[in-house]
Amino acid sequence: MNRILSLGLLLISAGAFAQNPTLVGESKFSNLLSASSDWRTEADFGRRVEQAGRALIGTPYVGWTLERDPKREFVFHTLEGLDCVTFVESAMAMARIAPNPRPTPNAFLRAIQQIRYRDGRVEGYLSRLHYTSDWMDDQVKRGLLQDVTASLPGAMPLQLNLGFMSSNPNLYPALRENPSLLPRLRELEKEISGRPRSFVPAPGVAAIESLLQPGDVVGFTTSVAGLDTSHVGLIAVDRNKTRRLLHASSDKKAVVLDVRLSEYMAGKSKMTGLFVVRPLLAR
C-alpha cells in the first residue's frame, strides 16, 4: 500500500472530520504549496517537515489563536499568525499533504485535526491535546511521531506534576465558561503526569545536537510549576550541519530560523532540558 493511501485510510479510520472546520489564510496556503514544489516531493519525511517550516519563515507570531468559542470546540487554524505549537502543527500538516497533486485546505485541516486532538477526534475542549507531553504521547501511540528522547546520551527520567491549567482556569476562556470541565481536567493532568518519561537535561544538549535530524520536534522542559514545556520548535540543519532552532518566536514576533539549539537554550534560565520526537509518515 502506498504511503499517501495509508494516510488517507488512517484519517478515515480515526473518525469523522469535525464539523465546520475553518482555515484563515487560504490564499497563503495556496501560495505556500504552489510556489515551492521541490520540498513537496522530498522523500525524507523529516526533511520535508523542515522545509515546510522554512516556507513559513516570516509569518507573524500571534498567540492564543485557538481560543475562539469557549462553548464550542472546532478545528480552527490560521496561517496569518502562528504561535510555537500551531507553527509546528502547520509544518507537520503541510508535509503530510504536500505529495498530493492538488492539496486542499480541507486536507490540511484534516491533518491538523489528527495532530491536535486525542485520537484525532474532536470531542470537546478536553479532547484537544493542551499539554505538549500529552500531544507527543498521543501521536507516538498512533504512529505519527517517534519518541527518541530516551535513546539520546545523557537522557534521564523526568517526573511531571502537571496542574497549571486546572490551577489557573481564569487564563483559559473555555475553563472560565465551563468550570464543570475542571474535575476531568485534573484527572487528565494526573494521568499524563504518571506516564514514564525521559528528558535530556539542559547541560547535555550540546552533546546530543549532532544526533538530531531535520524536522525533529523539540519540546523545552521548564521549571515553571505545573507545566511540562514552555516552548516547542523544529530542528533545521544548515549547510554547516549545525542544528538550529526553527520556531515561532514570541521575542522576535515571527517564525524565524534561530541560532544553534544549545546556544538558544543557554539564554533561557527556566528551560531545564528537552523532549525530542521525530515525525513519521503514517503506516
pLDDT digits (tens, 9 = 90+) for 229-265: 999 999 999 999 999 999 999 999 999 999 999 999 9
C-alpha cell at 66: 485557538
**Res 17: pLDDT:** 57
Q: Do 218 and 205 meet the contact criterion of CB atoms below 8 Å apart?
A: no
For residue 27, give the C-alpha cell: 490564499
Distance in angstroms (rounded) separating the CA atoms of residues 9 and 32: 25
Angle between helices 182-193 and 132-141 (to 10 degrees): 70
Which cell goes with 81? 499568525
Residue 13 has pLDDT above 70, yes or no: no
Cα radius of gyration rounded to whole Å, the chain: 18
Task: Locate CATH 2.30.260.10 in the chain.
Answer: 142-279
Instruction: Report the length, in residues, of the chain.
Output: 283
Q: Which residues of 9-21 are buried (b: 16+ CB within 10 A; e: fewer)?
A: ebbeebeebbeeb
Residue 74: pLDDT band with limits 50, 70, 90: very high
pLDDT score at 14: 42
3-state secondary structure of 151: helix
Closest CA to 53 of 235, 276, 265, 238: 235
Determine the pLDDT at residue 138.
98
- CATH top-level class for 3-127? mainly alpha
Poorest-pLDDT segment among 36-40, 117-121, 217-221, 270-274: 36-40
Query: What percent of the chain stands above pLDDT 70?
Result: 92
CATH 1.10.3670.10 domain locations along the chain:
3-127
Cell of 50: 523542515
Positive or negative CA dihedral for 42, 18, 56, 275?
negative
Predicted local distance difference test score (pLDDT) of residue 164: 98
pLDDT digits (tens, 9 = 90+) for 33-49: 876 667 888 889 999 99
Cα(264)–Cα(283) distance, integer angstroms: 34
Per DSSP, what are the bridge partners of residue 201? 273
pTM given for the model:
0.92
Fold observed for domain 142-279: putative xylanase like fold (2.30.260)
| Per-residue confidence (pLDDT) for residue 282, from 0 to 100 | 66
Rounded CA separation 141/240 (Å): 34
Distance CA 211, CA 155 (A): 13
CA distance 266 to 283: 37
Residue 221 has pLDDT above 90, yes or no: yes
Tracing cell 480515526 back to the chain, one arrives at 14
Q: What per-residue confidence (pLDDT) applies to 27? A: 93
The average confidence (pLDDT) of the chain is 92
